[in-house]
Amino acid sequence: MEDSAGGDALSRSVGVISPAAMAGMRSEDVVELLARVPVFSTLESEDLERIADLAVPRVFEPGQVVFREGDASDTCYIVRSGHARAIRGHVDGRTITLARFGPGDIFGELALFEDERRSATVEAIEQCSAVAVLGPDMRRLMVEHAGISARLVIALGRRLRETNERLSRQSFQTVQSRVAVVLSELVAQALAEQSDGADVTVVATQADLAQLAGSSRESASRFLAVLERAGVISQGRGRLVVHDPEALQQYVF
């Protein structure tokens, strides 16, 4: 997906700018999108407008790789629509899902601050529309407007603290509790994207849920069977339907 050098600079990205993406993308839309991202949540509106001026629309097709593990890191992405996932390959050939991204989520954000190698591969699950910001452009903006740097540091500190608290909670949780939490998070993401309060469809396999929850597929499968017998969910091929999202909280300890 990238050139032989392995970088993912905007000029080399295969997720090219489409005319439709350009036509449907207004500056105020990008500002609104950025305001939903925790990393940018502490910024003033004028700062968001400055970042929006740097943003370039990108569209990735299902299964298309945005960047690969080990690539040069020079661009971050904010999802506008669709979904992507971060994965890592194991030496035995297995693929592990580390995270899923939906509208309003950011990935590759460390590229805003330094040029490092990517720690995981990110690929589109379905057609995924995103805006991309080059790290060098963002760092130049932070030099010109020092207030942006200070507020970004505050936001990143909050995010790190929340991550540490979540990891601490998970270390004391049972497998069913971890799976219930992951499923609740995917349900919340799906609810934010659908217009009604009907049954919620989550596109994920049992293996995806197990990997996100840090459990074996067998353990996750047994718990999902419990939820299905209780009428909380229905399982299908590569997806499941949650009939009673609130009931998931009964399994979180």
Give the domain CATH number at 220.
1.10.10.10
What proportion of the chain, given as a percentage, has pLDDT over 90? Answer: 39
Measured CA distances, 78 to 26, 52, 185, 195, 214 (Å): 15, 11, 18, 22, 25
11: left (phi over 0), alpha (psi -120 to 50) or beta: alpha
pLDDT band at 2 (very low <50, low <70, confident <90, very high): very low
Q: Are residues 33 and 76 in the same domain?
A: yes
Predicted confidence at residue 164, as pLDDT, reads 75
240 and 184 both lie in a single domain: yes
- Mean pLDDT computed over 99-125: 89
Q: Are residues 128 and 216 in the same domain?
A: no
**Range in 45-59, 198-212, 225-239 the model is least confident about:** 198-212
Q: Give the residue numbers spanning the domain of 194.
A: 173-251
User: Under a CB-based contact definition with an 8 Å cutoff, are residues 124 and 84 in contact?
Assistant: yes
70-87 confidence digits (pLDDT tens): 998 899 999 999 999 999
DSSP at 117 = B
- Quote the pLDDT of residue 55: 93
198 shares a domain with 103: no
Instruction: Answer whether residue 11 is part of any domain.
Output: no
Asked which of 138, 166, 194 is the last residue of a domain, the reply is 166
Asked if residue 179 and residue 148 are part of one domain, the reply reads no
Q: Are residues 96 and 209 in the same domain?
A: no
Cα-Cα-Cα-Cα dihedral sign, residues 24, 25, 28, 31: positive
Note whether 162 and 181 are same-domain residues: no
The stretch 9-17 carries a mean pLDDT of 45
| 25 & 125 share domain | yes
Number of domains making up the chain? 2
Same-domain pairing of 104 and 156: yes
Residue 95 sits in the same domain as residue 179: no
Polymer length in residues for the chain: 253
Structural domain includes residue 3:
no
Q: In this predicted structure, what is the pLDDT of residue 115?
A: 79
Of 38, 249, 66, nearest to 155 (Cα)?
Answer: 38
Least confident of 103-117, 159-173, 229-243: 159-173
